[in-house]
Amino acid sequence: MVDIKVVGLFMVTAVAEILGCYLPYLWLREGKSIWLLVPAAIFLGLFAWLLSLHPTAAGRVYAAYGGVYIFVAILWLWLVDGIKPTTWDIVGTLVALLGMAIIMFAPRGA
């Protein structure tokens, strides 16, 4: 069964990581203020801390997190960058989310 809290935690984790990477991108590629590196560092620290809150083994969390990261990155592409995802972006995202669901929510023996 899908645990909505786990999926929500993955989503917040992904947003923190993307912000931690996007802000330096704005400085390096868009000529924005170097001061964006301060919140970027904070977001990357938050990202690392949020990963530690997940309720399963670290390796499993990192593997499953990738699927949610792909989903959030494609949403970012659309909502922030203003680029509509292609059919293949959507198909790839669904495959990644299926992989995440299998890794996180498959029944396990004790």
Quote the CA–CA distance of 49 and 67 in Å, as a whole number: 19
Question: For 6-20, what is the HEC assignment?
Answer: HHHHHHHHHHHHHHH
pLDDT digits (tens, 9 = 90+) for 6-48: 888 889 999 999 999 999 999 999 999 999 999 999 999 999 9
First to last CA, the chain: 17
Domain ranges of the chain: 4-105
**Model pLDDT, residue 110:** 62
Q: Which residue has the higher pLDDT, 37 or 5?
A: 37
Q: Residue type at 29?
A: R
Residues contacting residue 68 through CB under 8 Å, at least 6 positions apart:
7, 10, 11, 13, 14, 97, 100
Quote the CA–CA distance of 12 and 25 in Å, as a whole number: 20
